[in-house]
A and B are shown apart, each in its own frame.
Chain A
Amino acid sequence: MGLFILRRLGVMLLTALCLTFIVFWLTNLYPNLEKLAKTQGNFRMSDEAVASYLDKNGYLQPMPVKFGQWLGVLPGWIHEEDGVTTGRCFSGGTPQEQRPAYCGVLQGDWGYSTVFKDEVGSIVSTRLGLTGKLMFAVMLLMVPMALLVGVLAGMREGSKLDRSLSTFSIASTATPEYVSGVIFIAVFASSAFGLKWFKGSATSAMENATFENFTLPVLTISLYGMGYIARMTRASMTEVMTAQYIRTARLKGVKFSDIVLKHALRNALIAPFTVIMLQFPWLLNGVVIVETLFNYKGFGWLLVQAASNNDIELLLAVSVVSVFVVLVTQLISDIGYVYLNPRIRIA
């Protein structure tokens, strides 16, 4: 088990390194840099002005060197012009002896955002906190609902209840967030239908989440993920319900509710556990869409801002965080599956 986790961690690290390099490469292509220079300076910059801006800010070094500097394994660039020294690791007026040579992710320095004019580390952590709040509410609603629907559908395969709940799960997986969100806003928050129950914007929920402004975004994300988990739970529940020990229990005359709750449920919940963990990366997609739609300025909103403005260091930090989330949840789901299922643990 220890060796397994160690190997997985190694592969994880390699994957994360490759992915960040791909993001780094794509954001540092020349047309992207040109766009960055023009948004930072002005849109009518000549080609020479763009080149000199990029050179002054260290963007024209070879790609591996820049990547090494961002990682913190190579010393940061220093540029001298007309007696003014600028550098990656220090601001203009720092005396020579206080200038650190290395500043990268390994030193805990995530860089500087060109859009928000602030340290990337602090921006990402604030936004992650806000998204964490959203995700917590989503999990609180989605997981129990999905398990309930799945267990109810799977306990009597082929019954009317099963058919209607299964159709409901299929419908919910077929509704992407931008469709359900639009329909929810139109029905529950617009003047056209007259039911002004909730708010169509979640901006105020960032400080003060209330039932009125937080329900629609949470519901929108939960609905899409719910159907999939419910279908997995149903499949696993129907399989358990045909097992020998359930038949034995029925023949002994155990009440049906006791069979479901005491005998079947525990074994039926192993498979959904992995599915729920693997849903995290999917939820990230939903978060981006919902935060854009409801104007909730969290991590997903940050991703859109960073990507559409080619804010290189912010975008890198965002992708490191999201790739990390994906890989860690994969690892947890693998370990959890092995741990929960004795047949694999012993083999």
Chain B
Amino acid sequence: MEELSWGNILARMFIQLGPVWIALIVLFALSITYKRRLGLYGKLFDSTIGMIGFALVMFWVFVGIFGGPLDMLVTHDPLSQVSGMKNKLPGTPMSRAEEGEYAYFLLGGDNLARDVFSRLIKGAWIVVQIAPVATLFAFMVGITLGLPAGYYGGRLDTVLSFLANLILAFPVILLFYLLVTPEIVLTGIPNYMALFLFIFPLVFVGILLNARYYTQPSVRTPLLIGVLGLLGWLYLSLVSTNGAVVATPTYSIPGLPGFLDLFDIDPGILVVFVSVVFVNAPTVFRIVRGLAMDIKTRDYVAAAQTRGEGPWYIMLWEILPNARGPLIVDFCLRIGYTTILLGTLGFFGLGLASESPDWGTTINAGRRLLALYPHAAIAPAVALLTLVLGLNLLADGLREESLRD
């Protein structure tokens, strides 16, 4: 068999990604048909920039979902090494393809003779999984601390702002180098940080519901018990591994026993996750604090105060909904920034295992042979670029549409 030409490679990749195209077309057809009933999301389809951005983002989301848990799009195993395929150019046929095996390395082989195309797709799942969830956690922390800081002001604000500025003054890479090392994982510090940072969604949801249904105890009490019980279970499964919350060589703090533990998180992933949340939260805090300070002078806040509403009700049910526009836009931008941070961590070989297919690690592995075989590093670089670009364009489209009314 001979090598494929570039046109051929693109056509084959197009076919291989078939399920993604179908999902994208269905999503867009449905959204455009019902766009008048879908609020801000529907309005996105009035702006070309926003639509392009959304298409790019959803492309990678579908690639991640189909390629990751559903295991569809990949042509080869992302970790297995195939003899004779080391550093081969895109479109190289496999020397001894067995029956039923895909006969080509569509985007070539890397320096360990693994298929670049399959690694790219598996890597998309890691990014699509971690970046939005980490951003969401950062938002929970930022909102829960930023609202009271902006609303009450005074000493609380001074202390919290000082702490936020303290973290912001740290060069991000230095912080990563200090936090994301195997030695620090041994001391259990990431586990303590996880304990602290992951409690914020619980606090947030608890206060949110309590403030709303405070006057109807018969609704509030069962609701709070149910929701907080479920979230608490998730929280405990998240922070405890092998029945311990913090396990160091010298001591350990017991956590949820193994049979109740829903999922275990790899300590490498946990430390990456925690540090990304830690770096992002102060910026969100500053944004929320600024918005709260601005909105608390409005008339509807004064009206709520006169009605005798509690401070948390005003913060979460009067101020927060009115700050949603800028926050949604910033959420999109921040997912992009988180993706960049994850790539940075991979680029310096911190946190994730060296054979992990995520894009940053792959770029790091490919850059040593950049002058001779650039394809192994360029493929994930272009992937990361398009995803972040898509998120930025999406944020731009959302901003334009939310300013229009």
- Whether, in the assembled complex, A35 has its beta carbon less than 8 Å from a beta carbon of chain B, the answer is yes
Report A7-45 CB contacts with B as 1/0, cut-off 8 Å.
Answer: 000010001001100010011011110110000000000
Q: Identify which of A23, A186, A304 contacts B178 (C-beta below 8 A).
A: A23
Name which residue of chain A comes closest to B390, CB basis: A174
Q: How far is the CA of A326 from the CA of B173 in the complex (A)?
A: 14
Check A185 against B374 for contact (C-beta < 8 Å): yes
CB contact list, B131-166 vs A, under 8 A: 162, 165-166
CB-defined contacts of B49 to chain A, threshold 8 Å:
167
The answer on a CB contact under 8 Å between B169 and A326 is yes
B363 engages A179 (CB within 8 Å): yes
Query: Do residues B371 and A189 form an inter-chain contact, with CB atoms below 8 A?
Result: yes
Task: Give the residues from 331 to 372 in chain B that come closer than 8 angstroms, CB to CB, to chain A.
Answer: 336, 340, 343-344, 347-348, 360, 363, 366-367, 370-372
Taking A176-B340, A182-B378 as contacts, is the C-beta distance between A170 and B370 under 8 angstroms? Answer: no
State the Cβ distance, A333 to closest chain B Cβ, in Å. Answer: 13
Inter-chain contacts of A182 with B (CB < 8 A):
363, 366-367, 370, 374, 377-378, 381
Within 8 A of B (CB), among A309-345: 310, 318-319, 322-323, 326-327, 330
User: Is B88 close to A, CB under 8 A?
Assistant: no
A190 to B367, CA, bound (A): 11
Scan A155-199; emit 1 where CB is below 8 A from any B CB, else 0.
Answer: 000000000000100110111101100110110011111000000
- Would you call B392 and A170 a contact (CB within 8 A)? yes
Residues of A within 8 A of B171 (CB): 281, 284-285, 288, 303, 319, 322-323, 326
Are A303 and B343 in touch, CB under 8 angstroms? no
Cα distance A285–B347 in the bound complex, in angstroms: 13
> Within the complex, which residue of A185, A285, A304, A308 is in contact with B172, where a contact is CB–CB below 8 Å?
A285
From A27, A35, A192, name the one whose CB has the most chain B CB atoms within 10 angstroms.
A192
Contact A303 B363 (CB under 8 A): no
- A30/B187 in contact, CB under 8 A: yes
Q: Does A114 contact B (CB under 8 A)?
A: no
At the interface, yes or no: A200 with Cβ under 8 Å from chain B?
yes
Shortest B165–chain A CB gap in Å is 7
Residues of A within 8 Å of B170, CB to CB, are 19, 319, 323
With A178-B360, A326-B169 as known contacts, state yes or no: A29 contacts B187, CB within 8 Å: yes
Task: Give bound CA distance, A193 to B371, whole Å.
Answer: 10
Using CB atoms, name the residue of chain B closest to A199: B371
B375 within 8 A of A: yes
Query: CB of B385 within 8 A of chain A?
Result: yes
Interface size on A, as a range, is 35 or more
Which B residues touch A189, using CB under 8 A? 370-371
What residues of chain B lie closer than 8 Å to A29, measured between beta carbons? 183-184, 187, 189
Do B378 and A186 touch (CB < 8 A)? yes
Partner of A190 from the list B179, B186, B371, B392 (CB cut-off 8 Å) is B371
B378 and A307 form a contact (CB under 8 A)? no
Indicate with 1 or 0, residue by residue over A281-309, a CB within 8 angstroms of chain B CB atoms: 10011001100110000000001100110
When chains A and B are docked, how far (Å) is the Cα of A34 from the Cα of B249?
14
- What residues of B have a CB within 8 angstroms of the CB of A200 in the complex? 370-371
The list of the 4 closest CB pairs from A to B, nearest first, reads A186-B374, A307-B177, A31-B183, A174-B389
Which residues of A are in contact with B by a Cβ distance under 8 Å?
11, 15, 18-19, 23, 26-27, 29-32, 34-35, 167, 170-171, 173-176, 178-179, 182-183, 185-186, 189-193, 200, 281, 284-285, 288-289, 292-293, 303-304, 307-308, 310, 318-319, 322-323, 326-327, 330
> Could you jot down 19 A-B contacts, CB within 8 Å?
A27-B178, A29-B189, A170-B389, A173-B392, A178-B343, A178-B360, A178-B363, A178-B367, A182-B374, A182-B378, A183-B385, A192-B374, A192-B375, A281-B169, A284-B171, A304-B177, A307-B177, A319-B170, A323-B171
